[in-house]
Amino acid sequence: MAEPVDHDVVVVGGGPVGLMTACELALAGVRVAVVERRTDVDPTIKAIGLHIPSVEAFQRRGLLPALLDAQRRHARELLATLPRRADLGRVPMASGIAGHFAGITVPRALVDYADPDFGAAWSRDMMPVSQQALEAILADRAVALGAQLRQGAEMVKFTDDGDGVDVELDSGERWRCGWLVGADGGRSAVRRGAGFAFPGTDPEITGHQAVVEFADPEVLTPGWNRTENGIYVYTPLPGRILTVEMDGPPADRNTPVTHAELQDSVRRVSKTGVTITSVRSATRFTDHARQASTYVRGRVVLAGDAAHVHSPFGGQGLNLGLGDALNLGWKLAATVRGWAPDGLLDTYTRERHPVGAWVLDWTRAQIALMRLDPLTESLRRIVGDLVATPDGATHMAKKLSGVLQKYDLPGDHPLVGRSAPDPGGRLAEALRTGRAVLTGPRADAGAARADRLVHVESDAPMLVRPDGYVAWAGTAPGDTAGLEEALRRWLGDS
């Protein structure tokens, strides 16, 4: 007989992805605990915005008001850091830009936002919000939904015996759980401990990102700058500086970034004698690009940076990880609760691995375009010309915003595999339950699975999975061809 478990699922890592996974599991009634070694907020600048699929996900869980609140706070904080009035004219205005690719900007005026791919999206733009604010929202929600959040505790060891997983914390405490989720970041101990293969490419850059005060900021040029020594991006709001040097990865990635290291890097790359008077936060990064070849091994599952690492260029990492959490949450919950159809959890790797592989490509290509040699300069001019066309700008904006994200699911209808359109917001309302949604005229089709499915009266028949993606769509009101098969495939037998 299987040993009783203390938790259905233990999530290692209370970063954004671990917390989002815990929210999804708790929403579905799963007993989940999160182990996070930090007790304080990590102040370093990381993600500064959410792309369209992430914003949609928050809306579908009723978290949009909290997000908008965080966005307003973010704007107020930025305003509070306004530099001297004389510097204002030097602040590059990002409003005319839909994003960038290796510093090649995508002009918003050229993007065709009437393109149908943008049509279904809740918003067309990235929503600026700090990773720290996001983590606070998710931590509050996870606890409110009943997840146990254990901060200041480190997972030091685990054993998967096939029936469950024994987890050991640094306090000596031992927990038994049914499943272990490694959301413990790029250097994941869960990934290593469970023996996941992690193939990819080696790093070639050393990057620094920091928020600092300069004694003489006027010697720096705001915006994205290339010099013969590297690249620096200076944003006077709020004193944010990023440097990239192309002569190999950092010699030491474990020690904290020192004032001297940061100042040397900024001076070298900017070719100025600029002086940093204080450092508010600083981090070092590189461009390792690696991805676990499967995201599930036995009873151990990976999500977020634990499953894939890459450079931060393109602002994709957090959004990629949140997508993992949304895709995984309901599938793992269905497995724990016992109604998962055969192979449901396997679709997690099948659907998310290609999205991760695309992000790795997207970031690798940017590193290639950031090299400093004359051949790369030539290539940059050509890519720049293409991006400065309406088709090029529209393509890049779609890629950057995530609206092209589509899962390869069975079914011919063009909506299948895509984020569900929701013009009136009624679908989002129904998805707050964390259950799948059947839209269309009232029918008996879904009634037998009422514990995992809700109905929304509509003329457009669709089966929408709990993560908001279309699993089946009919061609006319009342069309139910293929619906029963889709219900069985995604929601199991009635």
Ligand X SMILES: Cc1cc2nc3c(=O)[nH]c(=O)nc-3n(C[C@H](O)[C@H](O)[C@H](O)COP(=O)(O)OP(=O)(O)OC[C@H]3O[C@@H](n4cnc5c(N)ncnc54)[C@H](O)[C@@H]3O)c2cc1C
Query: What does the binding site for ligand X look like in residue numbers (CB under 6 A)?
Result: 12-18, 35-38, 46-48, 131, 154-155, 183-185, 189, 209, 283, 285, 304-305, 312, 315-319, 321
Nearest approach, Cβ of 184 to ligand X (angstroms)? 4
Q: Give the integer Cα–Cα distance in Å for 147 and 38.
A: 17
The Cβ of residue 173 has, within 10 Å, a number of other Cβ atoms equal to: 12
Q: How does 438-449 read in b/e, with b if 16+ C-beta sit within 10 Å?
A: bbbeeeebbeeb
Which alpha helices (H) appear in 61-98, and where do they start and end?
64-80
**Cβ closest to ligand X, residue 151 vs residue 389:** 151
Q: Which two tokens stand for residue 375?
A: 């051949």
User: What Å distances lie between residue 236 and 87, 136, 194, 220, CA to CA?
Assistant: 8, 26, 44, 10
Distance of CA 145 to the CA centre of its chain: 22
Nearest approach in angstroms of CB 150 to ligand X is 9
Which residue's CB is nearer to ligand X, number 180 or number 183?
Answer: 183
DSSP code at position 434: S
Tokens of 478: 């009342």
As measured in angstroms, the least distance from the Cβ of 120 to ligand X is 21
Of residues 245 and 422, the one with the C-beta less far from ligand X: 245
Of the two residues 242 and 470, which places its CB atom closer to ligand X in the complex? 242
Q: Tell me the C-alpha to C-alpha distance, in Å, between residue 129 and each of 47, 66, 76, 145, 228.
A: 8, 11, 11, 23, 33
Query: What are the residues facing 472 on neighbouring strands?
Result: 463
Q: Exposed, middle or buried, 407 (CB in 10 Å: 0-12/13-18/19+)?
A: buried
Q: 154 vs 479, which CB is nearer to ligand X?
A: 154
Q: C-beta of 12: minimal distance to ligand X in Å?
A: 5
Q: Name the residue nearer to ligand X (CB basis): 49 or 461.
A: 49
Min dist. Cβ of residue 477 to ligand X (A): 39
Helix H or strand E encompassing 88: none
Considering the complex, what minimum distance in angstroms separates the CB of residue 82 from ligand X? 22
Decide whether 50 or 333 has the Cβ nearer to ligand X.
50
Q: In the bound complex, what is the minimum distance in angstroms from residue 291's beta carbon to ligand X?
A: 13
Residues 6+ apart with CB under 8 A from 492: 334, 339, 340, 341, 344, 449, 452
Phi, psi of 344 (to 5 degrees): -60, -45
Nearer to ligand X, 337 or 364 (CB): 364
Q: What angle do CA 206, 207, 208 make, to 5 degrees?
A: 130
Least CB distance from residue 266 to ligand X, whole Å? 15
Shortest approach of ligand X to residue 126 CB, angstroms? 9
Q: What is the number of alpha carbons within 13 Å of residue 101 lying toward its C-beta?
A: 29
Closest to 307 measured CA to CA, from 334, 327, 337: 327
Helices (H), 102-212: 116-119, 131-144, 189-194
Nearer to ligand X, 14 or 466 (CB): 14
- Which residues face 301 on adjacent strands? 181, 296
Sort 114 into a burial class: Cβ within 10 Å, 0-12 / 13-18 / 19+. exposed
Q: Which is nearer to ligand X, 11 or 334 (CB)?
A: 11
Closest to ligand X by CB, 208 vs 331, is 208
**Sign, CA torsion 194/199/203/209:** negative
- Strands annotated E in 303-379: 308-309
H or E element in which residue 453 lies:
strand 453-457
Nearer Cβ to ligand X, position 47 or 427? 47
Whichever of 309 and 454 has its CB closer to ligand X, that residue is: 309
* Shortest Å, Cβ 287 to ligand X: 11
> CB 189 → ligand X: shortest distance, Å?
5
Q: To the nearest whole angstrom, how small is the minimum distance from the Cβ of residue 8 to ligand X? A: 19
CB of 320 to ligand X, least distance (A): 7
Under 8 Å between Cβ of 347 and 379: no
